[in-house]
C-alpha cells in the first residue's frame, strides 16, 4: 500500500475541502451520503469508538462521556493551517462548551505523539484521538484516501447522534457548533 506523505496529505485535505464546498454550493449532498462515505443515521446511536489519546489517560471511549454532550470533530492533520485555526477556535470557546456540559474530542489519523506536540505547540487542553487505521473515520463517513475529512458530529448525553456538519469553515465553525448545541439543548 502506498504511504501518503504529510505534504501530500495536507494538499489532499485542501482539495477535498474545496470539493466538498463546491458540491454543497451546487445543490448539496444527499442527507445520508457525503464526500467520505455513508453518514451515520441522525437520531440513532452514534458509532461507538475507543482510541488512543494524547492526554496520558491511555484510551478514550465515546462511552466515557455518557451524561454529557460530545463534539466529535474530525480533521485532516495536525499543524496544517486550517486544522490549527479550527483547533484554536475550539480551545478559545472551550469554557463555553464546558458550561453547556459538552466535551470536545478531536480525531485525525495522526498518532498520539503528533497530537501531544500539536497540543503543546497550540495550547490545546481538550483530547485529540489517534485514529491511525481510519476505522472510526470510516464509521462516521469521514474518510477519504488516507485522511480524515473535516466533519463534526454532535452526540447527546445518551449517545445519540443529533447533528453533523459536513461543510466546515474552520474560522467560524466553533461558533456554528455552539449555536446548534444551544438549539438542541433548548429542545430537551
Residues 62 and 49: beta-carbon distance below 8 Å? yes
Taking only the tens place, the pLDDT of each residue in 60-84 is 999 999 999 999 999 999 999 999 9
Least confident of 23-27, 150-154, 183-187: 23-27
The pLDDT of residue 6 is 53
The answer, yes or no, to whether residue 26 has pLDDT greater than 80, is no
**CATH code (residue 155):** 3.40.30.10
Give the number of domains in the chain: 1
Q: Which residues are catalytic?
A: 83
**Measured in whole angstroms, how far is the alpha carbon of residue 101 from the centre of its chain?**
18
Asked whether residue 23 is assigned to any structural domain, the reply reads yes
Nearest by Cα to 104 from 173, 43, 154, 46: 154
Asked whether residue 139 is assigned to any structural domain, the reply reads yes
Taking only the tens place, the pLDDT of each residue in 125-179 is 999 999 999 999 999 999 998 999 999 999 999 999 999 999 899 999 999 999 9
Asked whether residue 1 is assigned to any structural domain, the reply reads no
Helices 81-92 and 6-25: angle between axes, nearest 10 degrees: 70
Confidence label for 20 from pLDDT (cuts 50, 70 and 90): very low
Residue range(s) defining the domain that contains residue 93: 6-186
Amino acid at each position: 500500500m502506498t504511504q501518503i506523505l504529510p505534504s501530500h496529505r495536507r494538499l489532499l485535505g485542501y482539495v477535498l475541502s474545496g470539493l466538498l464546498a463546491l458540491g454543497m454550493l451546487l445543490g448539496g449532498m444527499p442527507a445520508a451520503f457525503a464526500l467520505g462515505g455513508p453518514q451515520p443515521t441522525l437520531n440513532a446511536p452514534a458509532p461507538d469508538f475507543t482510541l488512543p489519546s494524547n492526554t496520558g489517560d491511555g484510551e478514550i471511549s465515546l462511552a466515557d462521556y455518557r451524561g454529557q454532550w460530545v463534539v466529535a470533530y474530525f480533521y485532516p492533520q495536525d499543524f496544517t493551517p486550517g486544522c490549527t485555526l479550527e483547533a484554536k477556535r475550539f480551545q478559545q470557546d472551550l469554557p463555553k462548551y464546558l458550561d453547556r456540559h459538552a466535551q470536545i474530542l478531536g480525531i485525525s489519523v495522526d498518532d498520539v505523539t503528533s497530537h501531544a506536540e500539536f497540543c503543546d505547540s497550540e495550547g490545546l487542553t481538550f483530547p485529540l484521538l489517534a485514529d491511525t487505521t481510519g476505522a472510526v473515520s470510516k464509521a462516521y463517513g469521514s474518510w477519504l484516501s488516507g485522511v480524515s475529512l473535516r466533519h463534526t458530529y454532535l452526540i447527546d448525553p445518551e449517545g445519540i447522534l443529533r447533528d453533523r456538519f459536513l461543510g466546515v469553515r474552520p474560522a467560524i465553525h466553533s461558533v456554528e457548533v455552539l449555536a446548534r448545541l444551544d438549539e438542541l439543548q433548548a429542545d430537551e
